[in-house]
């Protein structure tokens, strides 16, 4: 192999290696006890439950998506024990959100956010104040929305590779109660989500990868053209 060809191979490998992040950052995001909630409507502020606080784990209805989806640590949560057979009942609220639950995290550099979300009866979802899912305030199959975002295994809302910049970000989940039941067994309410935030390549990385691939392609054509 002559010196020019060696130089081109070195340039190609250097471009490809430079485009690779030194260490992939991964932030796991799973619903659980201890997240902040607020904006609870007055109909739920009974039995010592206030207008703000932290979430608790609840028992899901037997028909709901089960806890730990996709092998995660995520569990169903609410502002109080509003789950199946729970001690706190949230009555019908229609198109008025009952409570907002918040997940906050900090990343560095451009990042991709991916989430799977279930809720009973439904949820509106905002990332840094921008709505990414609108709630479904009508009843459907299984006693929840009947579509994304709902409570059954096939009714999750899927947010895939949502690009974020560096800094602190907040996901807000607005929960809705549209069921007509009169107790927590016939009309439970809750939220389940799982996902992650991971590093996205810098724009310059794509240029480096492209340069490396073009160099490799040129070398292959050169090799084929030489005896």
Note the pLDDT tens digit of each residue in 182-191.
999 999 999 9
Tokens of 53: 């606080």
What range does the domain containing 213 cover?
1-21+202-227
Q: Are residues 130 and 215 in the same domain?
A: no
Least confident of 96-110, 116-130, 177-191, 211-225: 211-225
Q: Are residues 9 and 113 in the same domain?
A: no
Distances (CA, A) of 63 to 150, 152, 154: 11, 6, 11
Label residue 218 by pLDDT band (50, 70, 90). low
Q: Are residues 83 and 194 in the same domain?
A: yes
Q: Are residues 71 and 106 in the same domain?
A: yes
Q: Are residues 14 and 39 in the same domain?
A: no
Mean pLDDT of 102-112: 95
> 149 vs 145, which has greater pLDDT?
149
Q: Are residues 190 and 218 in the same domain?
A: no
Distances (CA, A) of 172 to 102, 107, 109, 123, 205: 5, 17, 22, 10, 32
Number of domains making up the chain: 2
Rounded to a whole number of angstroms, the CA Rg of the chain reads 24
The torsion angle over the Cα atoms of residues 44, 46, 52 and 56, rounded to 10 degrees, is -80
């Amino acid at each position: 192999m002559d010196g020019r060809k060696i130089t081109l191979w070195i340039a190609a490998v250097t471009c490809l290696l430079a485009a690779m992040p030194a260490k992939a950052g991964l932030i796991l995001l799973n619903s659980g006890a201890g997240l902040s909630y607020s904006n609870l409507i007055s109909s739920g502020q009974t039995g010592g439950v206030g207008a703000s606080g932290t979430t608790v784990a609840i028992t899901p209805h037997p028909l709901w998506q089960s806890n730990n989806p996709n092998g995660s640590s995520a569990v169903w949560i609410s502002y109080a024990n509003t789950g199946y057979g729970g001690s706190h009942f949230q009555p019908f609220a229609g198109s008025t959100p009952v409570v907002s639950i918040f997940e906050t995290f900090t990343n560095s550099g451009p990042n991709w956010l991916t989430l799977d979300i279930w809720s009973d009866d439904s949820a509106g979802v905002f990332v840094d104040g921008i709505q990414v899912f609108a709630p479904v305030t009508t009843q459907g199959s299984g006693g929840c929305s009947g579509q994304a975002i709902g409570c059954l295994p096939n009714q999750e809302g899927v947010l895939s590779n949502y690009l974020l910049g560096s800094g602190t970000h907040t996901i807000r989940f607005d929960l809705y109660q549209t069921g007509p039941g009169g107790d927590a067994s016939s009309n439970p309410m809750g939220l389940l989500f799982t996902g992650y935030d991971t590093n996205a390549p810098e724009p310059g990385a794509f240029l480096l990868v492209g340069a490396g691939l073009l160099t490799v392609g040129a070398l292959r054509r050169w090799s084929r053209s030489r005896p």
